Amino acid sequence: MGVPALAEQFVSVNSSEELQQALHYVTEQGLPYMILGGGSNTLFKQDYSGLVIHNQLTGINVLEQTNDHVLVQVAAGENWHQWVTYCLARQWHGLENLALIPGLMGAAPMQNIGAYGVELKDVLHAVEYFDSIDHRFHQLTNAECEFDYRDSIFKKQLAGRAVITSVRFKLPTKFSPVLGYPELNKTLKNKPDPTAAEVFNAVCQVRNAKLPSPSAIPNSGSFFKNPVVSRGQLTELRAHYPEIVSFVHGDKIKLAAAWMIEQAGWKQREYDGVCIHQHQALVIINPGHRPGDAVLALAKNIQADIMRKFNVELQLEPQVY
């Protein structure tokens, strides 16, 4: 978000040994710590009084390859979008819809990142992490990660203790496009049987049209999660807002937060130098590099207004420190 914030202490770790040394150090010193990847989904309200550990673990290793799939282990410091393009070049499929998501590999399982009809849990095989409490390495299967919408065990029971070191993927070698997202379908309307590269390019085109790059305009992508409500609550909302945008989400309903924010009149509005992006109501931008408190003030005003108008709670997507 481009906020002016400093860390009391900072270290980059390039190996699992350096990571363990850093975590032993904070234990001995009684210091708080946080793991920082690309930083695109992190918001600092103030300076950080502790050690920021910048995860720079790299490496991509093929563990198994058959005619049907490939099993690959990827270190947590690898860039996510570069990993997607790496797979595309080798005809390893399943990640095309997740192109251009900013950040590093280690953050992907925490958030169960997703876009355009695909989530990380659809392709993830296992996660390796180092436990800062017992100082041991552990591995969790896909099911053990307890993935949900923008959620996982790493944000619940293992929050503050699990440092993700690598992610394993089981990717098919046969391409099967996922084209349920309306804007993706629209972009590919003249290609009834698109290739993986065409889906990848279409996703990049849609994202570039809607979402500003964090390197160009400070932002965290979608600042709010799409709220999940009961079918009964959707019925009540439709009585007042017949055109409300919604999607089936298991036995519940996912509402389009951007639609509600736009209907409430927040799109392009500015508050204390922070504003809503002109093309996407879910995106808060901080062109003036205002402090984190200013960003959160705008977010809280939006949350309160959506609760007042729709009786729906909007939850923040970025991690706030």
Q: What is the pLDDT of residue 49?
A: 95
User: Which three-class secondary structure state does DSSP give residue 34?
Assistant: strand
- Give bridge partners of residue 312 from the DSSP assignment: none
Query: Is 222 an annotated catalytic residue?
Result: yes
Number of DSSP helices (H) and strands (E) in the chain, helices first: 8, 19
Q: Which of 78, 150, 166, 168 is catalytic?
A: 150
Query: Is 40 an annotated catalytic residue?
Result: no
Query: Which residues lie below 8 Å from residue 20, measured CB to CB, with a gap of 6+?
Result: 130, 135
Q: Is 264 exposed, middle or buried (0-12, 13-18, 19+ CB in 10 A)?
A: middle
Q: What is the pLDDT of residue 292?
A: 95
Q: What is the pLDDT of residue 180?
A: 85
Q: What is the pLDDT of residue 268?
A: 87
| H-run or E-run covering 270 | strand 270-271
Task: Report the chain's C-alpha Rg in angstroms.
Answer: 20
Q: Which of 132, 152, 166, 222 is catalytic?
A: 222
Q: What is the pLDDT of residue 190?
A: 81
Q: What is the pLDDT of residue 215?
A: 83
Q: What is the pLDDT of residue 212?
A: 86
Q: Which amino acid is at 301?
A: N
Backbone region of residue 22 per phi and psi (left: phi > 0; alpha: psi in -120 to 50; beta: other values): alpha
Query: Is 152 an annotated catalytic residue?
Result: no
DSSP string, 45-100: SS-EEEEEEEE----EEEEEE-SSEEEEEEETTSBHHHHHHHHHHTT--S-GGGTT
Domain architecture of the chain: domains with CATH? 7-55 (3.30.43.10), 60-172 (3.30.465.10), 219-320 (3.90.78.10)
Closest CA to 286 of 298, 296, 295: 295
pLDDT truncated to tens, each residue of the chain (321 aa)?
A: 999 999 999 999 999 999 999 999 999 999 999 999 999 889 999 999 999 999 999 999 999 999 999 999 999 999 999 999 999 999 999 999 999 999 999 999 999 999 999 999 999 999 999 999 999 999 999 999 999 999 999 999 999 999 999 999 999 999 999 998 888 988 998 888 999 999 999 999 999 988 888 888 999 989 999 999 999 999 999 999 999 999 998 899 999 999 999 999 999 899 999 999 998 999 999 999 999 999 999 999 999 999 999 999 999 999 999
Q: Which amino acid is at 131?
A: D
Q: Which of 78, 119, 128, 317 is catalytic?
A: 317
Q: What is the pLDDT of residue 297?
A: 96
Q: With the C-alpha atoms ordered 81, 83, 87, 92, is the resulting torsion angle positive or negative?
A: negative
Q: Is the pTM of this model over 0.85?
A: yes
Q: Could you give the angle at which helices 80-89 and 196-210 cross, rounded to 10 degrees? A: 150
The token pair that represents 183 in the structure block: 């804007």
Parallel, antiparallel or unpaired: strands 48-55 and 7-13: parallel
Taken as a whole, the chain contains a residue count of 321
User: Which three-class secondary structure state does DSSP give residue 264?
Assistant: coil
